[in-house]
Structure formats: C-alpha cells, structure tokens
Structure 1
Amino acid sequence: MSSRKSILEAIKAIPREEKPLPDLPDFGISGELEEGFTQSILGNKGEVLEKSVFENWLATQDFSKILSLTESYRNLSTIELPKDPHELSTLDLAILEGQFGVAENGAIWLDDSQLFLRAIPFITEHLVIVLDRKNLVPTLHQAYQRIGDAHSGFGLFVAGPSKTADIEQSLVIGAHGAKSLRVVWK
C-alpha cells in the first residue's frame, strides 16, 4: 500500500460524530426593503433613481458609446453587442437588467442571462442596472437561496462602483470596473 493510500485510509477510519449546522440568525433589514437597499447603494457610493430622474440625467450626458441590453432602454444603444469584448474598450455606458437586489448590502445579481459578455460591467466607464422593486430580498443568505441550483455559467453580485484603496490607502474609483453605478427602478 502506498503512503498516500495508507494516510487516506487512516483519515477515513477516524470516528466522527455528526454535528448539526448552526442556525443562522436573521440579519434582516428592519423597515422597508426598498429603503434598506437604497441606503446600502448610497453607502457603496452608488445612486438609486426613478425612471424619470434617470432619463433627465442621461439627457445631460455626452456618451458616444452606449450599450443597452434591457428591453426598456434598448433604443438608447448607439452600438451593437460585439462578439469580441475587446471592441468594448471605449464603452461609455452599459445598461443592464438585474435579476434581484439584496437590501442588507445593495448587491445586485447578474448572470449570463443578462450579460452575454462577462466583461461588460467591468469594462464600461459607467454602469446602470435596471431593477424591479419587487425583486428585492432582505439578506445575502436569502439571495443565495434564490440563486439555488439555477444553472448559470457565470454570475456576479455588483454593489457599487469599482473602488480600491490598496495602494498607499488612497481611494481610487473605477480601478477595476465602472466609475459609477446607478440603479434605476423599473
């Protein structure tokens, strides 16, 4: 018998007593989910906007390359979705649809069904996520339950604009992704 096999056999022979998993406390948001979500996004340096406020804001901007993958704002796209993500290197604004949001931390779940190209939320200068108010959950635990066993090749939570203070504790916005995040209520 090899050393590896004898070690593994010795480990398997160790008697183990089954221990139940601890109960998770309810870290839910007190009050309204929408209010908790909005406060979390603001704390993450993002914005939450009503549709009319977003449209007014957009009218004041000078974005030359806009990619919208949402039904409600598809007409705003100035470019088509390319096959090669490198073609998005100068993307000014991406508008995506979020599946659901988490009130306790402002995280918004995106997966392959919205993205089509994984690079979009990271390569764009500014990110807008359209989210239905009815699709809020109180905690991240409930978010993971909602994701469950759904098949997805890729998924991520976005909770604000990209930021880091790794180098000399100097805050840099947009270091690894979008410089701004706006959530627009559907």
Structure 2
Amino acid sequence: MPSYLTAPRSRPGPRRRSLLTGAAGVASAALLAGCTDSAGSDTEESSAARRLRAAAAKDSRELLGRYDAVLAAHPSLAGRLAPLRSEVKQHADAFAAGRAPSTPAATASGSAAPSPSAPAGPSPSVPADPGDAVRALAKAERELADRRGQALLDAPAEEGRLLASVAAAGAAHAYLLTEREGDK
C-alpha cells in the first residue's frame, strides 16, 4: 500500500501557517482595541492618534529609505523588491494622510518602480552581498511589524485597525523576503 505521508519540510523560518496565525493575532488585537471604551476625552484621543500616525509614518518612511538604499546598491533586486517597496510607500502615505492604504490589487497593478522622492536623512548602510541586503530588509520589516503589533494595543480604534493591517503586511513582507532562502 503506498504511503501518502510526505516528509516534513526542513526549511528555516516561519511557516505560512505561523505567519497567518500571527497576522490573525494582530487583527484580533485590533478588533479588541476597537471595542474598548474611551477613558479620555476626544481631544486627548485625537492627539494620541495624531502622534501615533506621525510616528508610524516616520517609521514607514525610514523603511522606505532602506528599500531605496538596497535598490540603489543592488539594482538586480528591483523585480523582487519593487512591489514590496511600493506597498511600504502606500503605508507611509496612509499614515501621513490619515486614510487606509489601497487594496493589494491596486498595488499590484500600480507602478512598482521606486520614486525619486526618498525620505530625507542619512542613507542606511547596505551590505555588499545582495542576499545579506535582503536579509537586513527582512529583519527591519520584522522588527517594525513587531513594534507596531505592540503599539496597537494602546492605539485608538481607527489607528489600531490601520496599524494591525500594516503590521500584518510587514510580517508578510519579512516572510516573502526570506522565503527564497529555503528554496536553495
């Protein structure tokens, strides 16, 4: 009788199931944040929301700067990184404008080429090896997603939902950036 069991994968890094579980946890926390009663006044909440959005926009612009630096140092990675970079730019724009990012379908059909409007400030150092540069991007995405996951616990409802969505996207980006390493 043939065996239908397959050998377990020995690929390093998170599995799709754990990625989806993590994203579901972030989304659940956002829903809970949206259901809590507001203890402060509307002015305090709107001030906290503005500060949260400003900090999140700054973080996204810094991550966008990392993508731009890697693409400048390793143009051969453009096909792989441009779609993720485009989404990071949409996240920065969403936090800056106070609106939700556009749908993934719009992202896929939109221009994925980096824009010349890189964030101001010093350019982050980029490893000479393209693989190391991609791993550094994955680490930055993962760390930012983790920080955003923690920040959404105290976020006002609207900002918590946006933060949860962008944190889940960042976790997915980190996964996609490290996915090819297991294929070698």
Q: Could you tell me the TM-score, scaled by structure 1's length?
A: 0.24
- Greater strand share, structure number: 1
Q: Going by fraction, where is helix more abundant, 1 or 2?
A: 2
